[in-house]
Amino acid sequence: MSNMPTRKIKIIVFVAALGVSAWYAWVVASRSQTATADRAEGLDLVDGMDSAPVIEPPRIFAGGTIEGAQREIPLRFEVAGRLKELHVRAGDVVEKGSILAELDAELWELKFAEAGTLLKLARAERDRLVRSGNSPLRKEELTIADAKVALAEGTVRRERLMLDKTLLRAPTDGLVLRVQAEPGEMVGPEDNRDLFTLVNRSSTKVRACVEELDAMKVAVGQKAVVTADGVPDRQFNGVVRSCSPFVAPKVQRHLKPGELVDVRVREVLIELADGGELLIGLPVEVFIEPGDATSARSPIRYVPLRPTPESEASVAGQQHRRSPVRSGAGESRAPAVGEGPAVQRTSVGEWRESPSRE
C-alpha cells in the first residue's frame, strides 16, 4: 500500500514533463514560422527584436502621351491658289525638302517671266548709256539706269520666291500623320485647317503630366518606366529630359478610374530608349523613379545680357561678308578678307564706309 502514492507521484511528474516538452516544442515551432514570415516580408530577427529595412519611396505616377522627337508640325501653303497635286499620303515617310503638294502655278510663272523681261530691258538701257558718248547728264542718267536694274533684279527675286511658294515642302525628316485636302480645292494661308501634319520619328518621347503633390520630386536625369494598355507585356525604359518651370491646370484626360481632374500638373518630357512602334498620341502610364529631394530641380540656362566676344566676332564676320562693295556700274560683290573696311549703300549712288566694330 505504501508504493501507491509514490507511483502516482511518478505518473504525475511524467505527465507534467510531457506537457512541458510539448509546450516548448510548440513555442519553438511558432517562433520559427514567425521568423520565416518576417523574412518573406523583409523583416529580420536580431537579438530577439524586429529590425525593419529601409523602405524606398514609391515611384511617381503620371499619365502621358506618345510624341516624336518634336511636337506635331502643322503645314499649309503661304500663298492662295488651287491645289493641283498631292505627292504624299498619310503614313508616308518623307525627307527634309521633299515636295508634299503643289498649287497651280501658271499665274506665278507668267509673273516671273514678265519680271525677267523687265530686267533684260533695264540692263539693255544701262548698257546703251554706258556705250554712249560724253554728255552733261550722263552721270545722272547712269544712276537712274542702275536703280532701274536693281529694282528689276529685286522684282525677279520676289517673283521667284512667290513661285517657289506654290510648292509645299517638308521642313524636316518625318512621318506624315494627316492629309486634309484634295486636288482641285482652293487653299491658302487663311484656311482654318492644316493641310498636312508632320512629326519627326527619329526618336520617341512621352509628354507626361505630374500632379502638383509630386511636382517638386521630379528632375532631369531620373529614370522612368512607361507602359501602355495596348502592349501589356512590355515595359519601355526612358530618362527625364526636361521639366516645365511651372504648373498649370490639368487639360489632358486619361479616363482612368479615380483620376483627379481639378488639379494642377507639371509637364515632364521623357525620352524612351526604344518604342518606335508606339503610335503617336497613344496614352501611356509613366512611373518615375524618385531621386534625392535636393536634386529635384531642373537645370536653369542663363542667357547673357550682353553679347559674348565669340558671338560679336561671329556677327562681325557675317556683316563683313554681306556688306556690298561697288565694283562697277550697278554691280556689287562681297569684299574679300583683308581688302579694308566694308562699305554700305546709304542711298541710290551713294556709298560710305561702315564704322569699325573694334
Q: Considering the chain, what is the average pLDDT of its residues?
A: 77
C-alpha to C-alpha distances, 301 to 215, 245, 292, 298, 308, nearest whole angstrom: 20, 12, 21, 10, 15
Determine the pLDDT at residue 121: 93
Determine the pLDDT at residue 268: 94
Determine the pLDDT at residue 322: 46
The C-alpha cell at 310 is 565669340
CA distance 31 to 95: 71
Determine the pLDDT at residue 43: 44
Sequence spans of domains, the chain: 3-51, 73-198, 205-295, 309-353
Query: Taking the domain 73-198, which CATH number applies?
Result: 2.40.50.100
The pairs formed by 149-158 with CB atoms below 8 angstroms and a separation of 24 or more are 149/119, 149/122, 149/123, 149/330, 150/330, 151/122, 152/115, 152/118, 152/119, 152/121, 152/122, 152/123, 153/119, 155/115, 155/118, 155/119, 156/112, 156/115, 156/116, 156/119, 158/115
Q: Which amino acid is at 100?
A: L
Percent of the chain with pLDDT over 70: 67
- Selection from 222, 312, 237, 320 nearest residue 274 by Cα: 237
75: left (phi over 0), alpha (psi -120 to 50) or beta: beta
Report field, pTM of the whole predicted structure over 0.95: no
| Tens-place pLDDT, residues 44-55 | 444 444 455 556
User: Do residues 166 and 103 make contact, with C-beta atoms less than 8 angstroms apart?
Assistant: yes
Determine the pLDDT at residue 190: 85
DSSP run (H or E) holding 157: helix 138-164
Location of C-alpha cell 564676320: 317
Q: Which amino acid is at 77?
A: F
Q: What share of the chain is helix, strand, coil (3-state, %, to 5)?
A: 30, 30, 40
CA distance 337 to 74: 43
Residue 333: exposed, middle, or buried by beta-carbon count in 10 A (0-12, 13-18, 19+)? exposed
Task: Point out the residues of the chain with pLDDT beneath 70.
Answer: 1-5, 8, 27-56, 133-137, 255-256, 258, 292-358
Determine the pLDDT at residue 334: 43
Determine the pLDDT at residue 343: 40
Residue 173: exposed, middle, or buried by beta-carbon count in 10 A (0-12, 13-18, 19+)? middle
Location of C-alpha cell 558718248: 133
Determine the pLDDT at residue 326: 40
Sequence-distant (6+) residues with CB within 8 A of 332 are 324, 325, 326
- Selection from 199, 223, 179 nearest residue 281 by Cα: 199
CATH of 205-295, one of 3.40.50.280, 3.40.50.300, 3.30.450.20, 2.40.30.170: 2.40.30.170
User: Do residues 182 and 95 make contact, with C-beta atoms less than 8 angstroms apart?
Assistant: no
State CA 8 to chain mean position distance. 93
Determine the pLDDT at residue 295: 46
| Tens-place pLDDT, residues 68-84 | 988 899 999 999 999 99
